[in-house]
Amino acid sequence: MRDPVVIAGAGVIGLALAFELQERGERVKILMPEDEAGTATLTAAGMLAPVSEADVEHTDLVPLALDSLARYPNFIDRVQAAAGRHCDYRTEGTLWVALHRDHRAELEHLLAFMNHRGLSAERLDARSLRRLEPGLSPRTVGGYRISADHQVDPRALRLALLEALTLRGAELESSCRAVGLECRGGVLTGIKVAYGDRQAVLPCTRAVLANGAWLGHDFDGALPDCGVRPVRGQVLRLTGPVLLQHVIRTPDVYLVPRADGRLVVGASSEERGFDGRNSAGATHDLLRHAIAAVPEIAELEIEEISVGFRPATRDHLPVIGATAVSGLFLCGGHFRNGVLLAPASAALLAETIHREWADAALAPFSPRRFEVQPCPNRN
Ligand SMILES: Cc1cc2nc3c(=O)[nH]c(=O)nc-3n(C[C@H](O)[C@H](O)[C@H](O)COP(=O)(O)OP(=O)(O)OC[C@H]3O[C@@H](n4cnc5c(N)ncnc54)[C@H](O)[C@@H]3O)c2cc1C
């Protein structure tokens, strides 16, 4: 039997990959730091929105996003069956709502782009929208429904993945960070790790860096120069009576209802490095826009205000695949859509690692599109 694949990072990307590797008969060892502050998966709203998130500047992402959404029902079935837990996967769809003329103009622009890409959205007038969601503001002037956009609870999904992996014998190295590479002649021989102040080397022939916004930070070893950086997102979690069934989006805010009655309100998008503080301004803006869309939100209780770091590469596309160091792979930079992209990223990279053959679907996301520096020989 081959040695385990070492995976640094236990967000949705690392854990989904570990799960798909196990599904292919591989053993996995997952490195998890003690401090999980800023983990994007724990903050994310969980919108699975290839249509709403279709981006004029990053059209390469649309096929991967649609592929990943199509994989979701089967992925969730397998994870839930293996873990014996639910992930709150829901298919009610998204309602995009305009509250005034400027909103309407912005939504028309988005709609034109979606139509151009062959993505489907159904235009709705204010009355139809309020029939679907009676809590919407009387100031609603129109919008559209995107039935293809779904959602999942990322925290529930992460717990289910951890449970499934553990039950199937994954090795979890807790309080452990990847801090560097050991290689010889361009071939991976180990991952340097730190348990607090104590350093060690985990010998391995295959490893994946899937540590989100931290990919390449404080790391000793030549990696593709993908420049991963954190893009801070602030999010509120509110509780109280269930007000909504659909995900509601305006150009200013999104509202994601959970089965347990919680409502996720998001999100800011800020270039502040790894500053994990919440700001009064972002909280104020989120609440103002949320209450403008659904006035009864003013009566809900604030349960949590949190911060997560979206992992963004230089070109805002993910890095998924092999590096110049034989045996070393990257799976990161999923930016605003990592929850959506997890099933496809995981399955395609698991195939690449297991079969030693890369799927053409991953070509646009190869880490090797960035400058590659040679790996130093260490003896
Ligand atoms: C506010 C917000 C809202 C979002 N909403 C959505 C959404 O609705 N839909 C969607 O699809 N996506 C959404 N995203 C994006 C999504 O959350 C991310 O793309 C995704 O979670 C990235 O997953 P990841 O596993 O790569 O990173 P993370 O979830 O950040 O996990 C990385 C893990 O690696 C660990 N780590 C760090 N350094 C090391 C190290 N040296 N060694 C080992 N482990 C390490 C960290 O502790 C962390 O636990 C949102 C993100 C934010 C911040």
Contact 312, 229 (CB under 8 A): yes
Q: According to the model, what pLDDT value does residue 259 have?
A: 86
Helix axes 154-167, 61-83, angle to 10 degrees: 60
Q: What CATH number is attached to the domain comprising 296?
A: 3.30.9.10
Contact 178, 31 (CB under 8 A): yes
* Number of folded domains that form the chain: 2
> Would 377 be classed as within a structural domain?
no
Token pair for 308: 């997560």
Token pair for 178: 């990847």
> Would 111 be classed as within a structural domain?
yes
Among 296, 290, 293, 352, which Cα is nearest to 319's? 352
Query: Ligand 1, atom 26: nearest CA belongs to which residue?
Result: 212
The verdict on the CB of residue 336 being under 6 Å from ligand 1 is yes
76 shares its domain with 190: yes
Q: How far apart are CA 152 and CA 14, in angstroms?
A: 17
- Divide the 379 residues of the chain into consecutive groups of 10 and give the mean pLDDT of each group: 94 98 98 96 96 74 94 98 97 96 92 82 95 98 94 97 98 97 96 96 98 96 93 98 96 94 96 95 98 98 97 96 96 97 98 92 94 53
Domain endpoint, select from 289, 312, 335: 312
350 shares its domain with 207: yes
14 shares its domain with 56: yes
Burial (CB count within 10 angstroms: exposed 0-12, middle 13-18, buried 19+), residue 354: middle
Burial (CB count within 10 angstroms: exposed 0-12, middle 13-18, buried 19+), residue 14: buried
179 shares its domain with 31: yes
Mutate to test the pocket of ligand 1, among 337, 341, 345, 365 (most ligand atoms within 8 A of CB): 337
Burial (CB count within 10 angstroms: exposed 0-12, middle 13-18, buried 19+), residue 113: middle
Q: How far apart are CA 123 and CA 120, in angstroms?
A: 10
Question: How distant, in Å, are the alpha carbons of 106, 129, 289, 317 from that of 97?
Answer: 11, 8, 12, 28
HSE at residue 261, side-chain half, CA atoms within 13 A, is 8
> Would 206 be classed as within a structural domain?
yes
Domain endpoint, select from 312, 332, 353: 312
Domain endpoint, select from 312, 328, 355: 312
Looking at residue 278, the DSSP 8-state letter turns out to be -
The verdict on the CB of residue 9 being under 6 Å from ligand 1 is yes
Q: How far is the CA of 62 from the centre of ligand 1 (A)?
A: 20
CA 123 to chain centre: 28
Q: Quick one: residue 175, left, alpha or beta (phi over 0 = left, psi -120 to 50 = alpha)? A: left
End-to-end CA separation in angstroms for the chain: 26
Q: How far is the CA of 168 from the centre of ligand 1 (A)?
A: 24
257 shares its domain with 113: yes
Q: How far apart are CA 329 and CA 173, in angstroms?
A: 19
125 shares its domain with 234: yes
> Would 43 be classed as within a structural domain?
yes
Among 62, 63, 47, 59, which Cα is nearest to 96's? 47
Q: What is the ipTM of this complex?
A: 0.99
> Would 269 be classed as within a structural domain?
yes
The verdict on the CB of residue 6 being under 6 Å from ligand 1 is no
Q: How far is the CA of 214 from the centre of ligand 1 (A)?
A: 9
Q: How far is the CA of 100 from the centre of ligand 1 (A)?
A: 34
214 shares its domain with 139: no
The verdict on the CB of residue 47 being under 6 Å from ligand 1 is yes
- Which residue range(s) make up the domain with 329? 5-82+154-228+314-369
Q: How far apart are CA 70 and CA 67, in angstroms?
A: 5
**Residue linked to tokens 């930079």:** 333
Q: How many CB atoms lie within 10 A of CB 135?
A: 17
305 shares its domain with 165: no
DSSP 170-217: -EEEET-EEEEEEEETTEEEEEEEEETTEEEEEE-S-EEE--GGGTTT
182 shares its domain with 262: no
Mutate to test the pocket of ligand 1, among 43, 176, 218, 339 (most ligand atoms within 8 A of CB): 339
**Residue linked to tokens 């779904």:** 150
181 shares its domain with 252: no
State which ligand 1 atom lies nearest to the alpha carbon of 179: 41
Q: What CATH number is attached to the domain comprising 223?
A: 3.50.50.60
Q: According to the model, what pLDDT value does residue 379 have?
A: 45
Residues whose CB falls within 8 Å of the CB of residue 127, separated by 6 or more in sequence, listed in order: none
Phi first, then psi, for residue 28 (nearest 5°) are: -135, 150
State which ligand 1 atom lies nearest to the alpha carbon of 42: 29
Q: How far is the CA of 357 from the centre of ligand 1 (A)?
A: 27
Token pair for 349: 């990279």
Q: According to the model, what pLDDT value does residue 65 have?
A: 93
Query: Ligand 1, atom 53: nearest CA belongs to which residue?
Result: 308
State which ligand 1 atom lies nearest to the alpha carbon of 308: 53
114 shares its domain with 133: yes
64 shares its domain with 161: yes
Q: How far is the CA of 115 from the centre of ligand 1 (A)?
A: 30
